[in-house]
């Protein structure tokens, strides 16, 4: 039986780095990597230039239900073992809830939450003991972020779902890890919505994509349920666990220059 990885959001940023490190066997031996995003040309370029492992471009829009039927059929036809599922496709829009607007608020839930759930449902029947699911959450899912509210809530969903699935699937030998980075320099910030809000919030600093991915793969193999790679964000996560929400929001308003701001 062929052993594969399925990576969403593979055309850019974190997903693309996962493809690169999986090609370097950082996740163990693989026969093929199936890469998913909308940008067909970019996926084909990545497939053509990837060494060591065969990479199959699968251009799909994960906000379209028909995409999951397509993938389900491909898996049904070929019956591979899905050794890795990396759910990296996602986006975030900064700004007050009203300014972000109804379409962007709904689409963040469609891609960050619903598509991740649908990908998991489609791939799980093809997983075996030792398979791993890597879900891109965010530190915004651990430390709640007003002015990035729907995104932050979507990532809290990803984090909690990952923890519960990791527990549920233990008996099946399938491991689920939630990855919680702070900001990284990817296309994520290309269309931020409220640019001022984004600039203020990125004062917490940036992490390197390659390090986030390397640690995520290592911790996934070791069976950890969660990866927070930034030491300062580990402290922030502890504070978020101990302090009331209002206290967290006050510190964030102070840090990001929002004291007295009205939505
Ligand atoms: N960068 C950060 O600061 C940061 C921090 C914490 C967490 N994260 C999380 O990390 C993950 C990866 O983000 P990134 O930084 O790599 O951002 P990115 O560079 O913008 O990559 C996003 C990926 O998602 C794909 N995508 C977007 N809409 C899609 C759709 N409808 N259907 C299928 N694929 C779609 C994009 O490809 P196409 O456009 O080709 O479809 C792209 O491959 C996200 O879940 C994000 O929330 C990012």
Which of 7, 16, 37 most suits a substitution to test ligand 1, by most atoms within 8 Å of the C-beta? Answer: 37
Q: Is residue 86 part of a domain?
A: yes
Q: Is residue 98 part of a domain?
A: yes
Give the atom of ligand 1 at the shortest distance from the alpha carbon of 9: 43
Q: Is 184 in the pocket of ligand 1 (CB under 6 A)?
A: yes
Q: Is 229 in the pocket of ligand 1 (CB under 6 A)?
A: no
Q: pLDDT tens for residues 105-120?
A: 999 999 999 999 999 9
Query: 193 near 104, Cβ under 8 Å?
Result: yes
Instruction: Annotate 168-184 with DSSP letters as a single string.
Output: HTGGGT-EEEEE---EE
Q: Is residue 263 part of a domain?
A: no
In which band, very low, low, confident or very high, does the pLDDT at 262 lie, cut at 50, 70 and 90?
low
Judged against a pLDDT cut of 80, whether residue 46 lies above it is answered with: yes
Q: pLDDT tens for residues 86-109?
A: 999 999 999 999 999 999 999 999
Structure token pair of residue 194: 């409220």
CATH of the domain at 85: 3.40.50.720
- pLDDT for res 92: 98
Query: 62 near 48, Cβ under 8 Å?
Result: no
Domain total in the chain:
1
Judged against a pLDDT cut of 90, whether residue 230 lies above it is answered with: yes
Round to whole Å and give the CA distance between 72 and 241.
39
Q: pLDDT tens for residues 162-207?
A: 999 999 999 999 999 999 999 999 999 999 999 999 999 999 999 9
The angle at the Cα of 47, spanning 41 to 50, to the nearest 5 degrees, equals 135
Q: Is residue 201 part of a domain?
A: yes
Q: Is residue 114 part of a domain?
A: yes
CA of 56 to the centre of ligand 1 (A): 19
Q: Is 136 in the pocket of ligand 1 (CB under 6 A)?
A: yes
- Residue 145's nearest CA partner among 243, 234, 249 is 249
Residue nearest to atom 9 of ligand 1 (CA): 136
Residue nearest to atom 8 of ligand 1 (CA): 138
- Would residue 222 be called left, alpha or beta, if left means φ above 0 and alpha means ψ between -120 and 50 degrees? alpha
Q: Is residue 26 part of a domain?
A: yes
Share of the chain above pLDDT 90, in %: 97
Expressed as residue numbers, the domain containing 149 is 3-255
Which of 6, 9, 192, 197 most suits a substitution to test ligand 1, by most atoms within 8 Å of the C-beta? Answer: 9
Q: Is residue 208 part of a domain?
A: yes
Share of the chain above pLDDT 70, in %: 99
Q: Is residue 260 part of a domain?
A: no
Half-sphere exposure of 200 (CA within 13 A, CB side): 19
């Amino acid at each position: 039986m062929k052993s594969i990885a399925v990576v969403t959001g593979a055309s850019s940023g974190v997903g693309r780095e996962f493809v690169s490190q999986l090609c370097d066997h950082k996740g163990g031996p693989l026969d093929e990597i199936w890469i998913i995003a909308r940008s067909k040309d970019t996926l084909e370029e990545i497939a053509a230039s990837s060494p060591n492992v065969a990479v199959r471009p699968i251009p799909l829009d994960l906000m379209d239900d028909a995409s999951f039927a397509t993938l389900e059929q491909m898996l049904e036809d070929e019956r591979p073992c899905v050794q890795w599922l990396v759910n990296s496709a996602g986006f975030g829009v900064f700004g007050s809830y009203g300014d972000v607007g109804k379409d962007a608020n709904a689409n963040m839930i469609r891609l960050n939450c619903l598509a991740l759930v649908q990908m998991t449902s489609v791939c799980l029947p093809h997983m075996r003991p030792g398979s791993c699911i890597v879900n891109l959450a965010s530190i915004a899912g651990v430390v709640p972020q007003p002015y990035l509210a729907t995104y932050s809530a979507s990532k809290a969903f990803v984090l909690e779902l990952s923890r519960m699935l990791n527990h549920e699937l233990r008996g099946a030998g399938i491991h689920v890890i939630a990855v919680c980075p702070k900001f990284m320099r990817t296309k994520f910030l290309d269309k931020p919505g409220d640019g001022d809000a984004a600039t203020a919030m990125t004062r917490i600093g940036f992490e390197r994509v390659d390090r986030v991915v390397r640690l995520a793969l290592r911790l996934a193999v070791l069976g950890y349920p969660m990866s927070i790679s930034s030491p300062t964000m580990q402290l922030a996560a502890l504070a978020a666990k101990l302090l009331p929400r209002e206290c967290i929001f006050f510190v964030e308003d102070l840090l990001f220059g929002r004291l007295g701001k009205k939505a």
